[in-house]
Structures are given as structure tokens and as C-alpha cells.
Amino acid sequence: MSSSLGRIAAIGRTTFTELARLRVFYVLVLFALVLIISSSFLARISLQQELQVTKDIALGAINFFLSMLAIVATAQLLPRDLEDRVIYSVLAKPVRRFEYMLGKFFGVLGLLVISLVAMSILCLAVIHLREEAAVRETMQQLSQSPSDELDHALVAVHQAGANRDLILALLLTLTKAAVLVSLTLCVSSFATSNIFTISAMAMVYLVGHLESIARDYWLHQRAAGWLARTFLAVVAFFFPDLQAFNLSDQIIAASSLSNLMLLKLLGLGAIYIVGYIVIAIAIFSQREL
Amino acid sequence: MKPVLALIFILLAFVPLKLKMEAACDRIAPGSLSIGLREQIGQSAFIAVLGGFRSVIADLLFIDAYSAWERTDWTYLLLRLRQATELQPRAILFWEMAGWHMAWNAGTAALEDDSKSPAARRRLQHDYLELGKDFLVRGIAHNPEKPQLYEALARLYRDKFHDHARAAENFEKASRLPGHASYDERFSAYELSYCEGREREAYDRLRTLYQRGEKERLPRLLNQLRAMEERLKIPANERIP
Amino acid sequence: MTEPAIHVSDVTKVFATPFRRRRIVALQHLNLEIAPGEIYGLLGPNGSGKSTTLKIILGLIEPTRGSVRIFGRDHSAVGVRRDIGFLPENAYFHKFLTGAETLRFHAKLSGLSGRETKSRIAELLATVGLARAGDARLSTYSKGMLQRIGLAQALIHHPKILVLDEPTAAIDPAGSRDIQNLIVSLKERGTTILLSSHLLTQVQEVCDRVGILHRGKLLREGHLEDLLAIENQTEFIVENATPDFLDGLEQQIASTNARVVRRKPQTSLEQFFLKVTETSDE
């Protein structure tokens, strides 16, 4: 068991090193950081209103770049190893194919965690600065008002600023990215090229955000015709509900995510990740090298 | 054949578990999109909306609406506010600002438009007031648990429609929701006191607030209570000191 | 009786192309046995099935029919690969790693401990002549250096069997000679070696037995001296003989039924090259 973990860790570390030394990684993270900073300049409305918009755009930027990084980084792993024949020297060692796949998964996940931490620190810093400025402005505006009005206004400012739900949103963004990694590995396990995997995952990404609608239509038999119903069934059965990990509606509505719902969402993420990786391993185990 | 069987088995285990867990995680549905939205916001923005960036696109549309306000382009402002609220109906800020822009800014601009006749100006202002009200009413329909929109609607009725009964009603609704402003009950009582035939009801409410202590005994409340005491001819021994 | 190191039994491999348009028969009823401690050369033209044979032995692909056993165990068992070291043809490794990092990676995959890994890396880098290049990234290595690091990773875990696919490809004659010497020393330590190469002279020098594959079939197999013996020809290589002695020898041969096929004072190009370069180094 420990030697199996050792092999997975070795492949994971090598995968992480491979990706971290790619220039595209730095470019992507830099773009995300620029977008997070510029989000605070985009909103030229009042400071209190800016907070909500800044948070939304920063979260959107992190979500987009982390998802893109997950797909692009994972898509090129298997084809590169196959093309360069590195896979022969790895699998000629006492390495099981599932260990190889798990190592790849954890390598990419490590990269995503580090990217998320970097982007989150900046995002929280920008929001914190905006929140402080909004508090100062509110206190100035309501200096003559009764204290309960001022308190009420300050509560609204803090609700719009960095809070528990923002941290949870970032955690769920990472969960969504991990789901995308596992699904990309799954597609990659039978795909013959990098381009095919990326194109397929772009489609999966779009459809995944509409999966809940497709599932609803299929469950309540709202579609007419067997072709439409079959299509909806395929989407409901195999595509992940990516919209579930999007907390922006929750944050906008300032309705806090309960601990139970958080556990359910993390559980959903775990089911997707385990399911897609098991399928990926099953397919890859039968692949002729 | 064996690997195919293994794959089928995996899928048979995975799919039901997936569907069950997804159902358990269903929360707020973002709402459907109108057919015309794609033409209005363009293909790229529409794809971004489908790709899970609905909220971000709504923010950008809202920022664009702000620019339209600065240019006093009321038609474009209205279009952008409609799009922003359609994309993100859970954003209280959007509905509140939409109501304010239409009723206060666009309405006032219409009233001061010298290029039109006085009658035309009043009609246009009334149209904008109705648009403002419509935004707030639809916002409340999407967010019935939020007091802010009831408060905004109450202010609209009070300041623009001069409909004290409806203003009182909406301040009262707001006061029953968590996170409401501390003045909601007081304002509801004040508005009620301007309604013909509801003076006693208004007095009882003001009295109840007075009895809560110093926190509520603000100058306006005291003045209003005394005025009601006069109007209703309340016996001296029952009046406030 | 000792278990053979590698036992390939009636292996057939058919590759199906997409949409089942065509079937490619890569190997047909292949039977092969390699004894422990033997150096076996697998020869054949391009497309004969050599690489397929090696991949099947390594468990990288499964045969369509037949079986392969490594020291009596099924080839697809992962544990079997602890006993095998493999140098692929045109070995590619992670270019972003250094030589030492590559060996460390493969040591971890083979289950070596930290301490053992450290000593083994130093030892192997010296053995393959890359002691000074261990900290450079593989992207800066020449083809020959990549081949050497490939050999090092194949040896990192003291394998009982070494499978070498074109081990001296892209290596200069001096380096080639070093690798040959290394192969022989490994054999002396009891390592079984399966070698696939196009360089027939080298195969001739190191291998005990060879097999010749062609279009997926093993055409001939056996000990070199048996395969190469030409019944009615014998070769002598004579040193320091005077011209008179050689003339006398030729006359004596002519007086019998035998005849001299060739008389030529000559060395091989390889030996000449080595002599010149070694002299130049001195």
C-alpha cells in the first residue's frame, strides 16, 4: 500500500513539476491576477455597490482561469507521454495503470491548489481594501444618522464584502476544477489527440452548466420526441452539473450556504471525481500502447 | 467482453448515485432566459452566460447601465437594466437601482424636458414611475424574503405616487422580514397616519412603538403621536407626557 | 531444471485498425525461451515484430493468443516488472527533469528507499559516464547522453532481466564499446539480457544466442557459433607471421583439395577508429 502511494506521489510530483515549468501556466495565472485587480476599476459606481460587483467579477475570473487551467493542463498529459514514449519507460516499471492515472490527477490538482491560493489571496486583499473604503464612506455619509441606521448600513457593507460564503465559493471553484480534471482524464484515456480532448471538454463545459435544466426536462418528461428525450437522458446521466458549484447566485442573494448543503456539494464533487477517474482507469487499462 | 462489462457495471453504479446526489444539491434555479436575450446581448456574451458566467455578464451590463445614466440615455439604460435583472434576478441591488433610476432620475428628467408640452411631460414621467414600480414588484416576486425591495417600493409610493396606504403596507411587510431597517415600523405608522379613516390604527401603532422605550422615542414619532392624540381627541390622562 | 528467465509460448498478436477495416498480424505463433544469465539477440528488419515482442514481454500490451512467463510468473503481473529493466528505442524521458531527477523518479517507481536511491544515482551516473551532467536538464542532453541515462534508469533497481531496444543507437564507437563491455559485465553478474539491434557486428560480439524475426515469424534461432558455422570454411587470424611463412601455408593448402578464399592483412574499421582515437587521447 505504502509503495503504491509512493509511486502515485512520484508520478504526481513529476506531473506537477512538468506543468509548473510550462510558460502557459504563468501566463494564465497572470491574466487572472490582472483581471482580479482590474475588476475594482471596472465598477465606477458607489463603493458599496462596487463591492458586490468586484466580488462577482473576481470570482468569475478565478472560476474561468482555474477551469481553463484544469482542462488545458490535463488534456496534454497523456498524449505527450504517449507521443514521447515516456509512458513505456514508466509502465515498464512496477507501476499499475491506476497508479499512473491517480498520479497525473494529483499532480494537476496540486497545481490548481497553488494557483487558487495565489488568486484568492489577491482577491481577498482587493475586496478587503474596498470593504474598508466602503465602511469609511458609509460612516461619513451616516455620521448624523441614528446609531441603529449606521449599524444596519455597516452590516450591509460587511455582508457585501469578504465573508464565509466567499471562502466557500472559492472552495467549490476548486472542487469544480477537480471534477474537470477527472473528466478530462476520462476523455483523454481514449482520445488520440490533445485537440480532440480540449474540444470535447469545451463542449462538456458548456453542456455541464445546463445539465440541471436537461435533467429537469428529462425527469419531468417535458421534451417531445424520442431523439430529444435520448439526448436529455445522455446529458443527465453522464455530464456533471457544473452550475451546482457556482455560488454566485447565493452570494448575490446574500443567503448563506448551510454546512449541510456544503457537505452535499463536496459529496457531489467526490462522486463525480471518483466516478470519472474509475471510468478513465477502466478505459486506459485496456488501451493498446 | 470483460472490460465492456466492467464499464457497464461502473456506469450502472455511477449514474443513479449521481442523479440522486444532484437532486439533493438543487438549490436556487437561476431562471430561464428569454428568446430575445441572445440578440440583445450578442453571441459572445450569450455563450459566456451559458458557460456559467451569467452573474459576471449581468455585472458588466449593470456597469454599462451606469454609463448610460451618466449620458442620460434613458432608453439604453432601461434596456441594460432589463437585461441585468433578467440574467441575475437574485441581485437586490439591480432591482433597487433600476427602480430608482426609472422613477427618480428618468422620471425627473422627463418632467424637466422643455422640448415637450407640460401634459406630455407628466405622461412620460408617469410612464417612468410605472416602469420603476414594475421593476420593484418583479424584484419582490424573485426575492420575497428580502426587505430592501419592499422598503424601496414603499419609498416610491410615498414620494412619487403619494399613495400613503400602499407605502404603509410595504413598510409593514418589510418590517416583518429578517434584516429589515430599524425605521420600517415607524415609517409604516407615519404613512398610515396620513390615510383617511385609518387614524386610530396609526395611533395604536405609534403608541406601541412609544412604549418600547427611548430607542423609539425619536422627535418625529413624538410629534406625530401628539398630532394623532389631538386629531383623535385622546383623553389627557392617556396622552404621552 | 531451472525456470527459464523468459518463456514466450505460442504468442500471436493481431492489431485491429479503427472500424475494423484491416487486421495487422504483428506476430504469429512465436515461441521463444531465454535461459537465466544468457544474452539473447532479437534481430529482424523494420516491421518484423521485434518491438511488439518486447512490449508483450514487458506487459505493455497483451497478446491476442498465447502466454508469456517471466521466471515462471505471468508477464502481466505488476510484481514481475521489479525484475525487469527496459531501455526503449530512441528513449525519451521527461525533458524538464535533470539526469539525477530522472533516476530518482524511476527509483521511486521501482520502490527503492531514499538512501539506496541516492547511492545508486551516484553510482549509475558514473557508470554511464554522466557524472558531470547529472544536474543538467535532459533537454540539453545529446542523443547519446539520453541513451546513457536511459540505460541508467533501466539498471536503477538491479533488475534480473535487462531488455534493451537498440541500446547503441546514436552512440559513438567508443561509447558503444563501453556499453558492450557493460553488457558483458552484467552477464557475468548473472543478469539475463534480451537485446534488439540492427548493428549485427555488435550482436555477434556479445550475444550467446540470436533469433531472427521476419514478418512476425521466428525464422531461425540458436547459438551464434552454430548458426554462423559454414561447414566447409574455417577462419584463422594470424599475427606476426612473415610473408614467407604465409606463402608456404598457402602452397600447402593448394596441394590439398582445399583452397584459400581470401588472404588480406586487415583490421576492422571499428578497431582502427578506436585505436586512432585512443592514441589521440593519450
Per-residue pLDDT of chain C (282 residues; tens, 9 = 90+): 678 999 999 999 998 876 667 788 889 999 999 999 999 999 888 888 898 999 999 999 899 999 999 999 999 888 899 999 999 887 678 988 999 999 999 999 999 988 899 999 999 999 888 999 999 999 999 888 888 899 999 999 999 999 999 888 777 887 788 888 888 888 888 999 999 987 777 777 888 899 988 888 888 888 877 766 665 677 777 888 888 888 898 888 888 888 887 777 666 666 666 666 666 555
For residue range B80-137, what is the model confidence (pLDDT) as tens digits? Answer: 999 999 988 888 989 999 999 999 999 999 999 999 999 999 999 999 999 999 999 9
Residues of C in contact with A94 (CB under 8 A): 78-82, 109-111
Second CATH level (architecture) for the domain C6-228: 3-Layer(aba) Sandwich (3.40)
In single-letter form, the type of residue at position C223 comes to H
Give the closest residue to C59 by CA, choosing from C44, C75, C74.
C75
C-alpha distances out from residue C79 to A1, A165, C73, C195, Å: 13, 48, 9, 22
Which pLDDT does position C241 carry in this prediction?
Answer: 84
For residue range A48-82, what is the model confidence (pLDDT) as tens digits? Answer: 667 777 888 888 888 988 999 999 999 999 998 98
The domain spans of chain C are: 6-228, 243-281
For residue range B100-116, what is the model confidence (pLDDT) as tens digits? Answer: 999 999 999 999 999 99
Kindly state whether A77 is in contact with chain C, defined as any CB-CB distance less than 8 angstroms: no
Which pLDDT does position C27 carry in this prediction?
Answer: 92
Do chains A and C meet with 3 or more Cβ pairs nearer than 8 Å? yes
Note the pTM of the prediction, 2 decimals: 0.83
SS (H, E, C) A114-156: HHHHHHHHHHHHHHHHHHHHHHHHHHHHCCCCCHHHHHHHHHH
Do chains B and A meet with 3 or more Cβ pairs nearer than 8 Å? yes
- The mean pLDDT value of chain B amounts to 89
Which pLDDT does position C45 carry in this prediction?
Answer: 81
| Beta-carbon separation of A14 and C105 below 8 A | yes
pLDDT-derived band of residue B195, with 50, 70 and 90 as boundaries?
A: very high
Average pLDDT over every residue of B155-178: 96
Min Cα distance B197 → chain A (Å) is: 31
Chains in contact with C via at least 3 Cβ–Cβ pairs below 8 Å: A
Residues of C in contact with A17 (CB under 8 A): 96-97
Name which of A11, A84, A94 is nearest C110 (Cβ-Cβ): A94
Nearby residues of C127 by Cβ (< 8 Å), 6 or more positions away: C152, C155, C182
C193 and C164 in contact (C-beta within 8 Å)?
yes
Give the closest residue to A91 by CA, choosing from A76, A80, A81.
A81
Task: Give the E-state strand segments of chain A in sequence order.
Answer: none
For residue range C180-220, what is the model confidence (pLDDT) as tens digits? Answer: 888 888 888 899 999 998 777 777 788 889 998 888 888 88
Which pLDDT does position C9 carry in this prediction?
Answer: 94
Q: C84-112: buried (b, 16+ CB within 10 Å) or exposed (e) per residue?
A: bbbbbbebbbbbbbbbbbbbbbbbbbbbb
* Cell 434555479 found at: B29
Name which of C88, C108, C157 is nearest A7 (Cβ-Cβ): C108
d(CA B210, CA B240): 9
For residue range A171-199, what is the model confidence (pLDDT) as tens digits? Answer: 999 999 999 999 999 999 999 888 999 99
**Is the ipTM value over 0.85, yes or no?**
no
Residue spans of chain A under pLDDT 50: none
Kindly state whether B27 is in contact with chain A, defined as any CB-CB distance less than 8 angstroms: yes
Min Cα distance C49 → chain A (Å) is: 15
